[in-house]
Amino acid sequence: MNSVAVVLLVWTLASPSSGGHTSREAWPTHLACSGGGLEVLYQSCDPLQDFGLSIDQCSKQIQPNLNIRFGIILREDIRKLFLDIALISRGSSVLNYSYPICEEDLPKFSFCGRRKGEQIYYAGPVNNLGLDVPQGKYEILLELYNENRATVACANATVICS
């Protein structure tokens, strides 16, 4: 990650897309990665903030050790952090998955335990099982939440595999 990209990411996180109106437009759609027959677009579904995400190796053969970059300003403390993933294909629910990211006795990442108001930036691997994405278009809903079930980040993504 070079410093220009870090500056851009921080700038993106810190710039509201509109001037604090109560009914505002949705957050812009971002491209997390494109290439290798796969395209991943996402949009924050947290009305209060946007966040930055990019996936380093884009391929429909998802590697077990995938490098990502993720940046967000924390709205909540994250002593514990969980990720819920829901996969939807052609309007029907295909898969629900829940994954612990930070647990008190088992912090998997350096940012575990950070406090509300702090900015976290993670660049590194996320372990997964690896998978060949079947051709198609998928919708994915992602939600990060803490020990009090308070939303830390939320996104809806579209994955297009050709």
Ligand X SMILES: *[C@@H]1O[C@H](CO)[C@@H](O)[C@H](O)[C@H]1NC(C)=O
Our finding on whether 51 is near ligand X (CB under 6 A) is: no
Our finding on whether 43 is near ligand X (CB under 6 A) is: yes
Considering only the stretches 40-48, 66-74, 97-105, 120-128, report the one whose residues sit in contact with ligand X under the rule CB under 6 A.
Answer: 40-48
Our finding on whether 29 is near ligand X (CB under 6 A) is: yes
Q: Residue type at 32?
A: A
> Which residues touch 37 (CB under 8 Å, ≥6 apart)?
59, 60, 161, 162
Torsion sign, CA atoms 62, 63, 69, 74: positive
With contact defined as beta carbons under 8 Å apart, do 76 and 66 qualify?
A: no
Q: How many residues bind ligand X (CB under 6 A)?
A: 12
Of 60-89, binders to ligand X (CB under 6 A) are: 86
Our finding on whether 128 is near ligand X (CB under 6 A) is: no
Question: Binding residue for ligand X (CB under 6 A) from 27, 42, 70, 82?
Answer: 42
Cβ closer to ligand X: 28 or 130? 28
Our finding on whether 95 is near ligand X (CB under 6 A) is: yes
Q: How far is C-alpha 107 from the geometric centre of its chain's CA atoms?
A: 18
- What is the DSSP-derived secondary structure letter of residue 80? S
Question: Binding residue for ligand X (CB under 6 A) from 61, 63, 67, 96?
Answer: 96
- What is the DSSP-derived secondary structure letter of residue 11? H
Our finding on whether 54 is near ligand X (CB under 6 A) is: no
Give DSSP secondary structure letters for 20-72: S-SS-PPPPPEEEEEETTEEEEEEE--TT---EEEESS--SEE-SEEEEEEEE
Cβ closer to ligand X: 29 or 135? 29
Our finding on whether 98 is near ligand X (CB under 6 A) is: no
Our finding on whether 157 is near ligand X (CB under 6 A) is: yes
Residues that bind ligand X (CB under 6 A): 29, 41-43, 86, 93-96, 156-158
